[in-house]
Amino acid sequence: MSSDADLDPRTIRHLSHVLAIAQRDQRLPSVAAGIVRGGRLVWSEAIGTVDGRAGGQRVDTDTQYRMGSITKTFVAVAVMRLRDAGRLDLSDRFDDHVPGSQIGEATIAQLLSHAGGVQAETDGPWWERTPGGDWASLADSPVRQRFRAGRRYHYTNVGYAALGELVARAHGVSWFDVVERDLLSPMGMRRTTTRPSGRAAQGLAVHPFADVLLREPEHDAGAMAPAGQLWTTVEDLAKWAAFVGGDTGEVLAADTLAEMFEPHTVDDQPGLAWTAAHGLGWQVWNVDGARFAGHGGSMPGFLAGVRVALDGGDGVVAFTNSTSGVLRPAADRLLDDFREREPRLPEPWHAAADPGLLDLTGLWHWGAGVVTGRIETGQLVLGEPGQGRGARFDRVAVDEWVGLDGYYTGEPLRVIRRADGAVSHLDLASFRFTRTPYDPEADLPGGVDDLGWR
């Protein structure tokens, strides 16, 4: 079903066909998926039944599925809201806020980015299939660090149980009460819950060699719930995908969300090129230079995913009620094919530059090198961002700018003027950019040879 009559009918049919092929070829009891653009669900489809049997209740886009580890992204946003409120610092040790565990030396930032070295799973029985206890019992089990904090990426469900406890202690209520009050309610995500509610798919395992099914267990994971407890629907998770795409409303500052997408730890797989990393709560991917953010999820009986292109905000959400199977390739194809068949129209160009900034454009020289300066959408651009030290700069005050890209990210650029107000040179993080190579009047550190060019 499509929720946007503006889509080409051939696109609608193609996307539905891709999803149907995935459901059949992967032998998935049901699948549900949606595409988000411009902050809204523009296409969605659901195929199969809640129990995987012919004649059963059909799934739809309001059917709940377990989102698994996508839950971690909600916990991470709740932590960042505490940071923005001045109630913690990302460099704080976990023990500063939740004392008494053996993972207390890891910082909050390291736990968010899976760089704390904390063990992946609990010491007890397979937590995803057994009811969980409280934080005290988990901390006493004891959970510990496998690696020195900060050494490497090591995905940890236990680390997010810890962050959920931090959120709960900071607010004096459960982690989910915080998520529901501060995130779900403002975004209208009324079908996102900790346990199945209303129409919900049954978690199932499909036998590898026969078309028979096995029901998977469902329970309250207790202290481990922040690692993967939440249930949701296509329609609800589409709102979270819109959030990832920049529709943050009053929930989170846009700058904070962008900070969460910055890669912190690389998912280093031997023999493979680096394409995946982890930010502050979010998985991030670099696919041939295109950046994506989101998260995958799996729990017994369920697979889920949300993936959003950061250049424009197009995103995909997808679910199945099967323990095994390969959901991500189909979800990725849905998004890729949608973007190819329904390309976003670029914003029309119009004159908007400040004529008072023209004296910053044209050729500049860093030593003997040549760099072109230009003004684009109110930003000063030196060189080509992404190439060498090319970067964009935002204006923060009269004749003061700050770098946005690469080597110069966060670095200051000052426009130095002569007594008559004309621009003499640029001081960029102590480097001099001059109108002529090694201009002797530009106060170059180290001076210029008195003999000049010869």
CA angle 341, 295, 58 (to 5 degrees): 70
| Of 222 and 142, the one with more pLDDT | 222
| Of 274 and 189, the one with more pLDDT | 189
The verdict on 288 and 382 lying in the same domain is no
Q: Left, alpha or beta for 403 (phi > 0: left; psi -120 to 50: alpha)? A: beta
On the question of pLDDT at 89 being above 50, the answer is: yes
On the question of pLDDT at 391 being above 70, the answer is: yes
Task: Evaluate whether 194 touches 85 at the Cβ level (below 8 Å).
Answer: no
Cis peptide before 142 (omega within 30 of 0): yes
**Measuring CA to CA, how many Å separate 133 from each of 137, 205, 224, 435?**
6, 25, 8, 68
The verdict on 8 and 39 lying in the same domain is yes
Is 453 part of any domain?
no
Instruction: Tell me the C-alpha distance between 357 and 374, whole Å.
Output: 9
DSSP H helix total and E strand total for the chain: 11, 20
Instruction: Tell me the C-alpha distance between 421 and 76, whole Å.
Output: 48
Sequence length of the chain is: 454
Name the nearest CA neighbour of 94 among 172, 178, 180, 169. Answer: 169
**Rounded to a whole number, what is the largest CA-CA distance in the chain?**
92
Write down which residue in 346, 374, 400 finishes a domain: 346
On the question of pLDDT at 440 being above 90, the answer is: no
Is 448 part of any domain?
no
The verdict on 219 and 366 lying in the same domain is no
The verdict on 219 and 303 lying in the same domain is yes
Instruction: Tell me the C-alpha distance between 222 and 212, whole Å.
Output: 31
Confidence of residue 5 (pLDDT cuts 50, 70, 90): low
Residue pLDDT, tens place only, 280-324:
999 999 998 899 999 999 999 999 999 999 999 999 999 999 998
The verdict on 304 and 415 lying in the same domain is no
Write down which residue in 346, 377, 407 finishes a domain: 346
Is 452 part of any domain?
no
Total tally of structural domains belonging to the chain: 2
**pLDDT over 90 percentage in the chain:** 89
On the question of pLDDT at 142 being above 90, the answer is: no
On the question of pLDDT at 3 being above 80, the answer is: no
Is 359 part of any domain?
yes
Is 22 part of any domain?
yes
**pLDDT over 70 percentage in the chain:** 99
The verdict on 362 and 322 lying in the same domain is no
Instruction: Tell me the C-alpha distance between 163 and 75, whole Å.
Output: 7
Q: What is the pLDDT of residue 2?
A: 41
Q: Left, alpha or beta for 139 (phi > 0: left; psi -120 to 50: alpha)? A: alpha
The verdict on 246 and 324 lying in the same domain is yes
Q: Which two tokens stand for residue 336?
A: 């890729």
Is 454 part of any domain?
no
The verdict on 267 and 403 lying in the same domain is no
| Domain ranges, residue 416 | 355-442
- Mean pLDDT of the residues in the chain: 95
Q: What is the pLDDT of residue 454?
A: 87
The helix or strand, by DSSP H or E, that contains position 134, with its residue range, turns out to be none
The verdict on 285 and 400 lying in the same domain is no
Predicted structure pTM score? 0.93
Residue pLDDT, tens place only, 23-41:
999 999 999 999 999 999 9
Residue pLDDT, tens place only, 185-225:
999 999 999 999 999 999 999 999 999 999 999 999 999 99
CATH number for the domain including 145?
Answer: 3.40.710.10
The verdict on 295 and 270 lying in the same domain is yes
